[in-house]
Structure 1
Amino acid sequence: MSKNQDTSLKYLFFTFLKIGAISWGGFMALISVVQQQLVEKDKKVADGVILDSISLASVLPGPLAFNVVSYLGYYLRGIKGALVSMVAILLPSFFLILILTYVYFVYDQVPAFNNFFLGVLPAVAAIIISVAANMSKKNIKDYRQVIILVFSGLSLVLFRSFYTTMLIMAVGGISGYFFYRNTISTDNKTVPVKIKLNFRVLISGVLGIAGLVLLIWLLPVFFQGENSGKATMVRDISLTFSGMSLTLFGGGYVIIPAIQEIVVDGLNWLNTNEFSDAIAMGQITPGPIFISATFIGYKVGGLLGAIAATIAIFFPPAFFMIFCSRFIDQIKRSKTISAIFKGLRPAVIGMIFAAAFTIGRGVELNWQTILLFASVLVLSIKFKINVAYLIPISGLAGVLLFA
Structure 2
Amino acid sequence: MEKDQETSLKYLFLTFLKIGAISWGGFMALISVVQKQLVEKDKKVADEVILDSISLASVLPGPVAFNVVAYLGFHLRGIKGALVSMVAILLPAFSLILGLTYIYSIYEEVPAFTNFFLGVLPAVAAIIISVALNMARKNMKDVLQLVILILSGLALIFFRSFYTTVLIMAGGAILGLLFYGKGVEEKAEPELVQKTSKQNIRSFLPVVVVLIVLVGLVWGFPLLFHKEATFTQVLLLRDIAMTFSGMSLTLFGGGYVIIPAIHEIVVEGLNWVTAKEFTDAIAMGQITPGPIFISATFIGYKVANFWGALVATIAIFFPPAILMIFCSGFMDQIKQSRIISAIFKGLRPAVIGMIFSAAYTIGKGMEMHWATWLIFIGVLFLSIKLKVNVAYLIPLSGLIGILLFSLF
Distance 1:390 1:158 in 2: 30
Check whether the contact 1:126–1:377 (CA below 8 A) recurs between aligned residues: yes
Q: TM-score, normalised by structure 2?
A: 0.92
Structure 2 residue 32 is matched with structure 1 residue 32? yes
- 8 Å contact from structure 1 (residues 192, 334) kept in 2: no
Q: Do the aligned partners of residues 270 and 78 (structure 1) sit closer, same or farther apart at CA in structure 2, a change above 3 Å counting?
A: same
Match of 1:132 in 2: 132
Note the C-alpha offset of 1:330.
1.8
Instruction: Say yes or no: does 1:290 pair with 2:286.
Output: no
After superposition, the Cα gap between the structure-2 partners of 1:204 and 1:280, relative to the gap in structure 1 and judged at 3 Å, is: closer
In the alignment, the residues of structure 1 paired with residue 387 and residue 200 of structure 2 have an alpha-carbon distance, to the nearest angstrom, of: 47
Q: 1:319 aligns with which of 319, 322, 337?
A: 322
Per-residue CA distance 1:231-287 (angstroms, 9 max, x = gap): 011100000000000001010111111111111111111111110000000000000
Corresponding residue of 2:255: 252
User: Does residue 336 of the first structure (1) align with residue 339 of the second (2)?
Assistant: yes
**Distance of 1:141 and 1:380 partners within structure 2:** 24
Partner SS, residue 201 of structure 1: helix
Name the counterpart of 2:76: 76
Q: CA deviation at 1:227?
A: 2.1
Matches within 5 A, 1:143-222: 143-182=143-182, 193-194=189-190, 195-196=193-194, 197-198=197-198, 201=201
Pairing 1:229–2:232 present: yes
Aligned to 1:63: 63
* SS class of match (1:235): helix
The 5 A counterparts of 1:295-310 are 295-310=298-313
Hey, what does 1:121 align to over in structure 2?
121
Distance 1:14 1:369, change over 3 A: same
Write the mapping of 1:369-388 to structure 2, written as runs, cut at 5 A.
Answer: 369-388=372-391
Counterpart position of 1:241: 244
Contact 1:173 1:343 (8 Å CA) reproduced = yes
Match of 2:405 in 1: 402
Residues 334, 397 of structure 1: CA spacing in aligned structure 2 closer, same or farther, 3 A cutoff? same
SS of corresponding position for 1:270: coil
Match of 2:270 in 1: 267
Tell me the equivalent position of 2:88: 88
**Distance (whole Å) between structure 1 residues aligned to residue 19 and residue 187 of structure 2:** 38
Residue identity in the other structure for 1:59: V
Partner SS state of residue 326, structure 1 = helix
The Cα shift of 1:198 comes to 2.2
- Partner SS for 1:312: helix
Contact 1:245–1:317 (CA under 8 A) maintained in structure 2: yes
Shift of 1:360: 0.5
CA distance in 1, matches of 2:257, 2:267: 17
Percent of aligned pairs sharing the same letter: 69
Measured at CA, do residues 7 and 208 of structure 1 come closer, stay the same or move farther in structure 2, by a change above 3 Å?
closer
Q: Which amino acid aligns with 1:291?
A: I
The Cα offsets for residues 78-123 of structure 1, whole Å up to 9 and x where unpaired, read as 1000000000000000000000000001111121100000000010
Match of 1:45 in 2: 45
Q: Which runs of 5 or more structure 2 residues have no equivalent in the other structure?
A: none
Whole-angstrom CA distance in 2 between matches of 1:178 and 1:62:
30
1: CA distance between counterparts of 2:124 and 2:187? 41
Query: Given that residues 13 and 88 in structure 1 are in contact (C-alpha distance below 8 angstroms), is that contact kept between their aligned partners in structure 2?
Result: yes
What secondary structure, in the 3-state scheme, does the structure 2 residue paired with 1:198 have?
A: helix
How far 1:230 sits from its partner (Å)?
1.7
Q: What is the CA–CA distance in structure 1 between the aligned matches of 2:123 and 2:70, rounded to whole Å?
A: 26
Give the Cα separation in 2 of the matches to 1:10 and 1:183.
46
Q: Using a 3 Å threshold, how does the CA distance of structure 1 residues 171 and 299 change in structure 2: closer, same or farther?
A: same
**Equivalent-residue separation in structure 2 for 1:367 and 1:204 (angstroms):** 52
Shift in alpha-carbon separation, 1:389–1:206, aligned structure 2, 3 A: closer
Equivalent position of 1:20 in the other structure: 20
- 2:79·2:207 contact (CA, 8 Å) conserved in 1? no
Q: State the distance in 2 between where 1:234 and 1:380 align.
A: 44
Partner residue in 2 for 1:348: 351
Q: Which position in structure 2 is the counterpart of 1:142?
A: 142
Distance 2:188 2:347 in 1: 20
SS of the residue 1:269 aligns to: coil
Partner of 1:281: 284
Give distance in 2, aligned partners of 1:296 and 1:226.
20
Equivalent position amino acid for 1:269 in 2: W
TM-score normalised by length of structure 1: 0.93
Q: Evaluate the alpha carbon distance shift between residue 400 and residue 267 of structure 1 in structure 2; reply closer, same or farther with a 3 A threshold.
A: same
